[in-house]
Every structure is written in structure tokens, then in C-alpha cells.
Amino acid sequence: MFLYELRHRGTRHRPVVPPSRLAARAGDAALRGGDDRPYLRPRLAAALPRRATLPARRQPLAVARRRAGRAGRARPLDSLFVLRSAMRLSKSLIPTLKETPAEAQIVSHRLMLRAGMVRQMASGIYAWLPLGQRVLANIARIVREEQDAAGAEEVLMPTIQSADLWRESGRYDAYGKEMLRITDRHERELLYGPTNEEMITAIMRDAVKSYRELPQIPYHIQWKFRDELRPRFGVLRGREFLMKDAYSFDLDRAGAVVSYKKMMLAYMRTFQRLGITAIPMRADTGQIGGDLSHEFHVLAPTGESGVFYDAAFEAGDALAATDIEQFYAQMTGIYAATDEKHDLAAWNNVPPERRREGRGIEVGQIFYFGTKYSQAMDFAVTGPDGRRIHPEMGSYGIGVSRLAGAIIEARHDEAGIIWPDAVAPFRAVILNLRQGDAATDPLCEQLYAALGREALYDDREERAGVKFAEADLLGHPWQIIIGPRGAAQGQVELKRRATGERFELPVAEALVRVRG
């Protein structure tokens, strides 16, 4: 503890507090009315001579200890302990905001800033703070699991690419100003990748020679950059964004369509696991090229596009699907369209009671585009008859960082974010309503030790109201509320953020509930 604090906090520009005064102030704090912790005094006496040699401190030890909610139970291994379980709110980089920064217009952007998830570093470019980083990691984890399950294989390609690669496909000039172009010290032309068709095709061209090595679906989760004319909506339309992109290589069109269908199922499973409703819709192929494409829209009242769909989608369960062909037929057989592609004739065939109109945020898109890149870049494998075959390709994107915003758009209320369990940065927050209390402190520590990284411990010296408000803002699925009255009897209150339900439970039962 001492080393840790010395290293991290001891260099602040503060006047040195004379040892005598420090002792007096610390003593006062320990003896203050209502403080029922006599053990503080001997501990302080032991600690003070060491402390007096330290550089300027921000506060007397007793106060520091009270704030940190440590109840004076310092142990020799404290420094390690504190470093490992860093998610005590008092020691975390979670800079919440009471007021909304002026630049944020859309609800997810406001909430992400207010919850301390992200900070804008430049137009459309964000730093992800601990809470945001955890959400990103959780989304990426689920995306990864579903890609792997679909038979895709993870790789990691660089963010910086050579212009020459893009000249091969002809897209270096075609891509326009949205591509961020870079020149290195040797005047070589580089670019920050907006997508990776060219690069993955070059890799495959180099590595894959026989038809027996296909099909393959490499994917990676990597930062992309598209120099949008007008970044907006926070991470929903940033210039730099984290994307999962997969690329399928098959021998023929039939195989490519199978890959396409697999990916559609993987996408629907992914979105369902993320706790959101996403609907696949026929789409244009745009820059990528090709003739088969679907966009996936998350339903959210603040979405950018208007969407029309058949309520049959709401009943679908991708996690229960066993037959890919059947699932694909079902998905593509139900009416769904963005306002741009809305077809009134087809819409009128949907039974009126099943017609749904809403808003959607595009969080993914899949393409089949045949041999566009394998031809242009001459990636061919030797077929069974010795002839060269240009593989049939598809590409499949999921906006990982955009999903973080989209999930909030879909799941929030006036008080803040309502995280689905799967993506929440923490399953639970432990609210110590009376920091420094003889009953609440040990109980909170016990719960915190039991839950480990799954829990955030609000150990700050704040009023109950502040803790409640921030817990709601941050949106943890569970709030474990520990007040002096219940704590004395070993009871805690459990609040479910999504529903507002509250339960009075013994500690052990609460743990079971939270762990699900």
C-alpha cells in the first residue's frame, strides 16, 4: 500500500505537511464522533513514522483509509492486492459527469461520456477508458466465439497498408477521400486500412495453392479508419472504429453461398447473445461490389434508418437453430426493409397485425461478391483437374465499437444505461451505503473478494444518493446494496437494473443470484 501510493500519488505538487501536524490531524480523524474504530490508533502510531518521511501527501492516513473503505485492515501484501483488484471505484479511472458535455447530441454518446466510458480525442476519434474498454472486450469476445463456432479462423492484420495493394484491385483511386492516405519518410504511399479485402487476398494468394485447402474464412478484429465527411453520433459514426471483418474463400459459388449462410447464422447468434434484436435486410453492395448482401439493423428508437419488418422476426431464436439452410430460408423469407428499399406491394402482403415500423442502427453487413478480388489480384488455386480456379469470395463485417453505442441506444432509460448481462463491464456493483461502518465495510469486502473481477466496489465516501444515481447511470445488471441496518443482520438488498426489482436476501443467496 505504501509503495503503491508513493509511486502513484506521492509526486503531486503539494506542500509538505509537517509530521506533527499530520499526527494531530490523523488523530482527530480517528477520534471524531461516531468513529467506533479504536484499532485505528495503534495502527496510526505504527504508520506515522514511516509516513512522515514520505513526500507530500494528499491527505492524512486515516482519511485516506476511510475513503478507500479499507477500515484500517492493512496487510503486508496490500500493494499487490490493490494492483490486482483495481476495480474499487475510489481507485478507478471512471470519470463520471453530472452534466452532459455540449458536443454530445445522441443518447448513447451522452451516456458514454457521462458514464466515463470514452473521451473524445479528436473529431470521430475516441479513447476508451476502463469501463468502455471492458464493454468492447466483452462484445469482441462474443463476436469471436461465434466466428470460431462458424468455422472462421482468427488472424490479425495491420492497420497500415501499402498503397500498391490497393492499386492491384483498382480501389486506391476509387476509394476517394474517405481513405486516410499516409506518406512515410521514404515517400512511400501508405494508408490506414478502411477494410481488408486486398490484404487478405494477397495473404491467401501467397499462402494457399491448392483447392484442397479451401474453403477458408479468416477474420480479424482490428481498428479501421474511414475519413468520414462528417463524423457524428459519438462512436456510432466515428472515423476510427473497431471492426470484425471476415473473408470467405470457396471453390465455387455454391460453396460461397454456404459460407454466406453460415455467417448470417453466426451474426444472428452474435446479436442475440449481445442482448439486442437485429434484423437482416437486403442491401446494396456499395464499394465492396457483388450481388448478394444483407445489412443487420439493431432496433433502437433513435436509429438512423427507418425500418419496416414482419413481427415474425421477434419470435426467431438463432441460438436454437440447427439447420443452416432452414434458418437462412426463414430469415430471408420474412419481410424486412429499410425505408430506402421499402416495397409497398410486399409490405401489403404482411398481415397488418404483424407489421412493425421502427428505427434501426446498422451494426453489420455481409457480402457475397464472387471473384471480384481474386480475379483482379490473381489469386488462384490449382483445381482437381490441374486448372487454375479463382476462389469465390465474400466479406462479413461487424462494427464492434459501433455496437457499444448501439446497445446503449437500444437499452437505456432516463437514469442511464441498462447493460445486457453479456456485455456489462461488471455483473454487479457493490454499494456500501455507509463507508467506514463496522457492519457494512467487512460485508462489502467479503462480497468483493467473492465476486472478484465481476464486481465493481463503490467504496467511495459518498452519500447513498450519489451512489445510487451513478450505479443506475453505469447500468450494472445487479446492484448489491449494503446499508447499516441490513448489514448488521447479514442481509443485503439486490436490485435488478433492467426491471427495478428489489430483493432482501442473506449474503450467500445474493451471491448465487448475481452469479446467475
CB of 137 to RNA, least distance (A): 16
Q: Is 12 in the site for RNA (CB under 7 A)?
A: no
Q: How far is the CB of 297 from RNA (least distance, A)?
A: 9
Nearer to RNA, 453 or 463 (CB): 463
**Pick 211 or 448: Cβ nearer RNA:** 448
Q: What is the DSSP letter of 20?
A: H
Least distance from C-beta 74 to RNA, angstroms?
Answer: 19
Residue 211 or 426 with smaller CB distance to RNA: 426
66 with 467: CB under 8 angstroms? Answer: no
The per-residue DSSP string of 428-492 comes to EEEEESSTT-TTHHHHHHHHHHHHGGGEEEE-SS--HHHHHHHHHHHT-SEEEEE-HHHHHTTEE
Binding map of RNA across residues 79-118, x = CB under 7 A, - = no contact:
-----------------xxxxxxxx-xx-------x----
Distance in Å, CB of 65 to RNA, minimum:
12
State the cell numbers at 298.
439493431
Q: Residue with C-alpha cell 509516513?
A: 51
Q: Which is nearer to RNA, 100 or 355 (CB)?
A: 100
SS3 content of the chain, % helix, strand, coil (to 5): 45, 25, 35
Among positive and negative, which fits the CA dihedral 284, 289, 291, 297? negative
Instruction: Output 272 or 440, the one with its CB closest to RNA.
Output: 440
Q: Is 232 in the site for RNA (CB under 7 A)?
A: yes
Classified as helix, coil or strand, 325 is helix
210 binds RNA (CB under 7 A): no
For residue 29, state whether it binds RNA (rule: CB under 7 A): yes
Of 47-55, 197-205, 363-371, 375-383: span binding RNA (CB under 7 A): 363-371
Contact window for RNA (CB under 7 A) among 132-140, 227-235, 249-257, 448-456: 227-235
* β-strands 455-458, 428-432 pairing: parallel
Sole binder of RNA in the list 72, 215, 275, 364 (CB under 7 A): 364
Contact with RNA (CB under 7 A): which of 18, 19, 42, 286?
286
Verify binding: residue 13, RNA, rule CB under 7 A.
no
What is the widest separation between alpha-carbon atoms in the chain?
91
Amino acid 62 reads: A
Nearer to RNA, 146 or 362 (CB): 362
Residues 332-351 that bind RNA (CB under 7 A): none
- Supply the DSSP string of 25-49, one letter for each residue: HHHHHHHSTT---TTHHHHHHHHHH
What would the x/- binding string for RNA be over residues 163 to 202, using CB under 7 A? ---------------x------------------------
Contact with RNA (CB under 7 A) among 10, 52, 59, 509: 59
What are the residues facing 181 on neighbouring strands?
191
Residue type present at position 345: A
b/e map of 60-99 (b: 16 or more CB within 10 Å)?
bbbbbbbbbbbbbebeeebbeebeeeebbbbbbebebeee
Q: Does residue 472 interact with RNA by CB under 7 A?
A: yes
Backbone angles phi, psi at 140, to 5 degrees: -60, -35
Question: How many residues bind RNA, per CB under 7 A?
Answer: 75
Which CB, 215 or 397, lies closer to RNA?
A: 397
